[in-house]
Structure 1
Amino acid sequence: MSDISLTVAVALCITAFLAGWIDAVVGGGGLVQLPALLIGLPAHLPPTYALGTTKVVSLCGTVVSAVTYARRAPLDVSVALRFSAVALASAAGGALFASAVSEEVLQPVIMVVLLGVAVFVVVRPRFGAAVAAEAPSRRRRAAAVLVAGVGVGFYDGLIGPGTGTFLVIALVTLMRMSLLTASATAKVVNVGTNVGGLLVFAADGAVLWGLVPFMAAFNMAGSWTGARMAVKRGNGFVRVVLLVVVTALVARLAYDQWWA
Structure 2
Amino acid sequence: RILQALLGLGAGFYIGILGIASTLMIITILYLFFSLDMLKANGTAKALIFFNNLIAFANYAYQGSIDYTIAALITPPIMVGSWLGARTAVSLGPEKLKIVFVIIAVITAIRILFQMF
Q: Is the pair's TM-score, using the shorter chain for normalization, greater than 0.5?
A: yes
Per-residue deviation, residues 82-115 of structure 1 (Å, max 9, x unmatched): xxxxxxxxxxxxxxxxxxxxxxxxxxxxxxxxxx
Between the two proteins, what is the percent identity of the paired residues?
26
Residue aligning to 1:144: 4
Pick one of 21, 24, 36 that aligns with 1:165.
Answer: 24
Give the 4+ runs in structure 1 shifted more than 6 A.
Answer: none
In 2, the alpha carbon distance for the partners of 1:172 and 1:212 equals: 31
Structure of higher CA gyration radius:
1
Q: TM-score, structure 2 length as denominator?
A: 0.92
How many residue pairs match? The answer is 117
Greater relative CO (CA pairs within 8 A, separation 6+): 1
- How far residue 144 of structure 1 moved from its aligned partner, in angstroms, is 2.3
Q: TM-score, structure 1 length as denominator?
A: 0.43
- How far residue 236 of structure 1 moved from its aligned partner, in angstroms, is 2.2
- How far residue 216 of structure 1 moved from its aligned partner, in angstroms, is 0.6
Which structure has greater helix proportion?
Answer: 2
Residue aligning to 1:243: 102
Pick one of 228, 234, 239 that aligns with 2:93.
Answer: 234
Cα pair distance change 1:207/1:187, threshold 3 Å: same
Return 5+ residue gaps in structure 1 as ranges. 1-138
CA contact (8 A) 1:144 1:171 kept: no
Return 5+ residue gaps in structure 2 as ranges. none
RMSD of aligned Cα (Å): 1.2
Residue aligning to 1:176: 35
What secondary structure, in the 3-state scheme, does the structure 2 residue paired with 1:207 have? coil
- How far residue 233 of structure 1 moved from its aligned partner, in angstroms, is 1.3
- How far residue 159 of structure 1 moved from its aligned partner, in angstroms, is 1.1
